[in-house]
A = this chain, B = another copy of it.
Amino acid sequence: MTDVKGDRSLPPHKQADPDLFVHVTKRNDEGVWITGAKAHQTGCLNSHWLIVMPTMRLGEGDEDYAIVGAIPVEAEGITYIYGRQSCDTRAMEGGDIDTGNNEYGGQEAMVIFDDVFIPWDRVFMHGEYEYAAMLVERFTCYHRRSYVCKSGVGDVLIGAAATVAEYNGADKASHIKDKLTEMTHLNETIYSTGIAASYQSHELKSGAWICDDMIANVCKHHVTKMPYEIGRLAQDLAGGLVVTLPSQKDFESPEIGGLLEKYLKGRADIPTENRMRILRLIENMTMGRNAVGYLTESMHGAGSPQAQRIQIARASQMDFRKALAKELAGIEETDREEILETFTDYFARVFTTAEPKAKA
C-alpha cells in the first residue's frame, strides 16, 4: 500500500517525478496499466496476489492516482527488490544460535510496477479521487486494529525476559518482578484495546462490519510506543551480555569453547547454551531481524503515529464533550441541549454497546 511518496510536502501530481505514487499510465477497453512503486511490502514474496491502493487523501489533479486493483504477484512488469534487515546475514552463517530465532522471520520488498496490466474486472477504483481518503481510513481502521498481533509477540519477549532473569538467578528480586508486571500491563493494554475495537464494531450500509475507528486507532497508537518500552525493559532484565555475547562459532571452537562454556554459565543447573539462546532471542527481538517487525513496523505499519492522532481527533466528537462540560458548568449556549440529545458516531456506540446482544 505505501507509495514511495517522494517529497511529503507535495501531493502526487505535483511530485518532480510522476511515478513516485502508483498511477494509471494508459487504459483501453480491456483494462489499465499502472506504473510506480510500493516502498516496502511486508510478506509480499510469499503472497499470491497484490492489491494496490492509494496511500492517502487525494485531491483534484490526482485522478490517475485513484486506482485500486488486484494483480497476481508474478504479473509481467513487476520487479521486487528485497530489503535489508538488521542482522540479516546471520541467517546465512550456518548456525542456529546467533540468528536468535532460527525458525521465523519476516521480509519486506520494494515492489516496482512498470506498466503492469490490470483487467477491468479486477479494478475496484478508477479515478474517484474524492473517495480515496475514506477508503484509506476504512482500510486503516481494520489494519490498525489488527496490530493487536504485537501483543502475541510481546508475550514471547516477556517470557524471554522472565526466562533470562531466572537463568541469571535474579528472578526473586522485587524490581525484576515489578518490571515483568509492567511489561505485562503494557502488553495487555494493546491486547484489550484491540479486542474492544472489535467488540464495538458496527455494520456499514454494504452489510460489511467495521471495527470501531476510535478504539482501533487508540490500539495502534499504543503499539507505536509500548513495544519499545517492553523491549527496553527486556534489555534491562537481560543484562549487557545480550549485545556483547561471543559468536556460536567461538562457542563451538575446540580452543575457546570450553572457556565460554565455563564463564558464561549463570545458574549452575542451567546449560550455558540455553542462556545464550535466550539472550540471542532477546537481541533478535530488540535489535535484530525481528526488531524490524516488533519495533519499527509497530511504529509505521498501518500508518505512523501522527496518522492515528489525526483519526483520534476526528473521532473525538469534541462538540458533544463541550456540551457535557457546559451543562455541568451551568453555561447556557445555543444548541447545547440539542447536541446532548443526539448520540452519533463514537458516542452512539459507547452508549449502546449492549444493544446488539439485546436484539439477538
Given contacts A37-B263, A170-B9, A235-B296, contact A159 B324 (CB under 8 A): yes
Q: With a 10 A CB-CB cut-off, give which of A84, A184, A329, A333 has the most chain B CB atoms.
A: A329
A240/B39 in contact, CB under 8 A = yes
B20/A84 in contact, CB under 8 A = no
Which stretch in A23-31, A124-132, A187-195 binds the other chain? A187-195
Which residues from chain B contact A60 at a C-beta distance below 8 Å? none
Given contacts A259-B81, A278-B326, contact A240 B185 (CB under 8 A): no
Given contacts A218-B192, A243-B292, A312-B181, contact A325 B262 (CB under 8 A): no
Q: With a 10 A CB-CB cut-off, give which of A90, A236, A287 has the most chain B CB atoms.
A: A287
A328/B281 in contact, CB under 8 A = yes
Which stretch in A63-71, A135-143, A150-158 binds the other chain? A150-158
Query: How far does the Cβ of A324 sit from chain B's closest Cβ, in whole Å?
Result: 5
Closest to A288 in B: B86
Query: How far does the Cβ of A245 sit from chain B's closest Cβ, in whole Å?
Result: 6
Residue A10 lies at the interface, judged by CB distance under 8 Å to chain B: yes
B181/A309 in contact, CB under 8 A = yes
Which residues from chain B contact A157 at a C-beta distance below 8 Å? 325
Which residues from chain B contact A350 at a C-beta distance below 8 Å? 191
Query: How far does the Cβ of A299 sit from chain B's closest Cβ, in whole Å?
Result: 6
Closest to A172 in B: B9
Given contacts A6-B268, A170-B8, A274-B331, contact A292 B160 (CB under 8 A): no
Residues from 153 to 183 in A contacting B, C-beta threshold 8 Å: 155-160, 162-163, 166, 168-170, 172-175, 177-178, 180-181
